[in-house]
Chains A and B, each alone.
Chain A
Amino acid sequence: MRIRTLTRPARFPATLESSGVAGEGPPTTVPKRSPHRSRRARSRDRLSRFTLFAAPGLLVYLALVLVPVCITIGYSFTNKNPFNPPTRWVGADNLTNLASDDEFLTALGNTVLVTVIVTIATNAGGLAIALLLDRRGWLYNVLRSVFFLPVVLSAVVVSVIWQAILVDDGLLNSMLRRLGTSNPPGWLSDPDLALYTVSWVIAWQGLGFCVVIYLAGLQGIPQELQEAASIDGCGPLMRFRHVTWPMLAPAVTINTVMSLIGGFKAYDQVQVLTNGGPGPGTTSTLAFEVVQTAFNGNHIGYASAMAVAMLVMVAVVSVIALGLLQKREVSS
């Protein structure tokens, strides 16, 4: 009720202006608009608005994100280790050591591989499923929810489910044995296979996100465009190539950037599924390596250098991906 009365003048701004502010209400209700207000009062008013509305959010963000980022950058130039004081300034030593640290380079390679696999798999799979589900009816509605369901599950829950299925004597292998496979693969215990298994689990969970985004993109394509292409003699493949695909550009951008950032952050699945193993670091990712080095190894300085490297990479990759993909959006 109150809102309605307040919005009324806004709907008719012309009325508001022509009737004049001063003549409308009693002068005591509009002290803020008074021309006699001093400059100091106005700046005090602005300050109080800032304190009230902006300061709390900015302060928390400053204390728990910006300052920590700066601390991480600062630590990356030290040998900080709470169990091995004193902390010394070591300059760029950490960063140069990273360049020849096999563990770090393995984690970097793993992260890139996981990110690439997950980005391609969720985009290709998501687009295929979205094309399949782009119809009306209860069946398609139910299936949409089915594919989206893992997105709202915790990565820990998803990893535990897949672990139960994929461990050496898990549900999948016992079924394979019953079907006559004498030596089923060690999905999580074979060093050559485990990283792909981890990628598979991350992609399975992220697929639904891409499906929903692509479905929204597909539904945003005007039917007339498809019909016009048909009349011009385009078959289904040509229509996809020349109408659907270019029109999906914004959806591709969102999905790719989200998958890239998500892949770089991958942590939970690694810890639950393989704990970085089997063997030294075969499935360890950058995020996993940073946390292990900082909280298990207590090499805070060195871990901070890794974190800084990771931060720079995430920033560069997102900026490049965003730039390239948005160019495609504009040109298509």
Chain B
Amino acid sequence: MNKPRAWLRPAAALLAGILFFLPIYLVLVNVFKDGSDIVSNPVGLPVPPTLDNIQSVLSRPDHLFWYGLMNSTEVTVISILIVTAISAMLGHYLARSNGVLAKVAMVTLLCGLMVPPAVILTPITEVLRTLGLMSTVPGLVLAYVGYYMPFGVFVFAGFAKTIPREIEEAAAIDGAGAFRAFWQVVFPLMRPASSSVLIFLGVWIWNDFLNPLIILGPAAGTTVTVGIYRSIGEHQADYGSVFALMFLATLPILVFFLVFQKQFVKGLTGGATKG
């Protein structure tokens, strides 16, 4: 507040930020150093930078990174699209229904928000095995669709209440069936809710570890996150290539985050300021 100490706040903030960022800095600089430099000088800048670590990850004979990237992309994209579509319909439906059954369904779904994944993992593997989907990408997608349904419904049902009913009635009068009215009129209006659900689930599913580890198993390949875990067992001390793998695996989600940062934070803070 008083002038002579005006530098104190930015200085303290900067110092806290630097200390906090150190671990990430260590990864970023060491990706571009070769092994001996990492051990002898972990903190220094990489001069001259080398791309050897990244190249060695990209050209692994077992294609760990590329297969992981393909699996992660496939699982994440398909899961978030299906959850968004289905939970938007369900959330909107429940928000518009006044019956007792709808209320029960809503409460049951909300309870699902706090079920830890570990609690239901064994039975999920059995359900998937019964369906013939264990150790497959569709099986993992199905597990995500079920597990994240409560979150989607929660977001969409909350948002649907802010959309005036008259809009849907107008669409019906204009001759649109319920299905068309929803997808062409209501769903576009729920864009903020859709982007929240897509962004959050995108990050959560991309980063998930336990479900792909158990459901995909070693047979059906891995996601990038599980790939990182598997690779630290192989070469304990080779930080260069482990860091490079993490760097490459995180890059897509990082770009995704930087592009959607505003919406991400908006989605997070929706409830923090209410009265």
Contact = CB atoms under 8 A, between A and B. Distances in A.
Interface of A: 2-3, 6-10, 13, 16, 21, 24-25, 29-30, 32-33, 48-50, 52-54, 56-58, 60-61, 63-69, 71-72, 75, 129, 132-133, 135, 139-140, 142-143, 145-150, 152-157, 160-165, 171, 174-175, 204, 207, 209, 212-217, 219-220, 236, 250-251, 254, 261, 264-265, 267-268, 271-272, 286-288, 290-291, 294-295, 300, 303-304, 307-308, 310-311, 314-315, 318
B24 to A, nearest CB: 7
Given A75-B122, A265-B116, A315-B114, A146 B21 contact: yes
Contact of A56 (B86, B118, B209, B271): B86
Contact of A213 (B16, B112, B268): B268
Given A57-B149, A156-B225, A132 B13 contact: yes
A308 B125 CA distance: 17
Interface in B171-188: 171-176, 178-179, 182, 184-185, 188
Interface of B: 1, 9-10, 12-14, 16-17, 20-21, 23-24, 26-27, 39, 42-43, 86-87, 89-90, 92-94, 105, 108-109, 111-112, 114-124, 126-127, 142-143, 145-147, 149-150, 153, 164, 166-167, 169-176, 178-179, 182, 184-185, 188-189, 203, 206-210, 214, 225-226, 228-229, 232, 239, 242-243, 246, 249-250, 253-254, 257, 261, 264-265, 268-269, 271-275
B167 A265 contact: no
Contacts of A214: 272
B273 A16 contact: no
Nearest to B179: A52
Given A58-B90, A60-B145, A132-B13, 9 more contacts: A3-B185, A29-B174, A52-B179, A61-B112, A132-B9, A171-B42, A207-B20, A216-B268, A294-B121
11 contacts: A3-B188, A6-B174, A7-B170, A53-B89, A56-B90, A61-B146, A71-B122, A160-B229, A212-B265, A214-B272, A272-B232
Contacts of A161: 23-24, 26-27, 246
Given A72-B119, A135-B9, A53 B275 contact: no
A154 B272 contact: no
A287 B254 contact: no
Contact of B124 (A2, A16, A68, A174): A68
Give the 6 A-B CB pairs with smallest separation, nearest first: A64-B146, A57-B90, A154-B207, A68-B123, A220-B273, A216-B269
Nearest to B210: A267
A49 B89 CA distance: 10
B150 A61 contact: yes
A166 to B, nearest CB: 10
Given A52-B178, A54-B94, A291-B118, A6 B171 contact: yes
A133 B17 CA distance: 10
A322 to B, nearest CB: 10
A205 B245 CA distance: 20
B23 A64 contact: no
Contact of A67 (B10, B24, B123, B246): B123
**Chain B, interface SS category:** helix
A261 to B, nearest CB: 6
A294 B214 CA distance: 11
A297 to B, nearest CB: 12
A18 to B, nearest CB: 14
A21 B121 CA distance: 53
A10 B166 contact: yes
B3 to A, nearest CB: 16
Nearest to B257: A152
A60 B246 CA distance: 33
A29 B174 CA distance: 7
Contact of A153 (B108, B250, B272): B250
Given A132-B16, A160-B246, A161-B246, A209 B116 contact: no
A197 B242 CA distance: 21
A174 B272 CA distance: 42
A61 B44 CA distance: 51
B142 A64 contact: yes
B122 A154 contact: no
Contact of B115 (A132, A154, A207, A311): A311
Contacts of B268: 209, 212-213, 216
A297 B33 CA distance: 41
Contacts of A54: 89-90, 93-94, 105
Contact of B149 (A3, A61, A162, A264): A61
Nearest to B92: A53
B254 A152 contact: yes
Contacts of B275: 250
Given A152-B203, A265-B116, A265-B117, A216 B173 contact: no
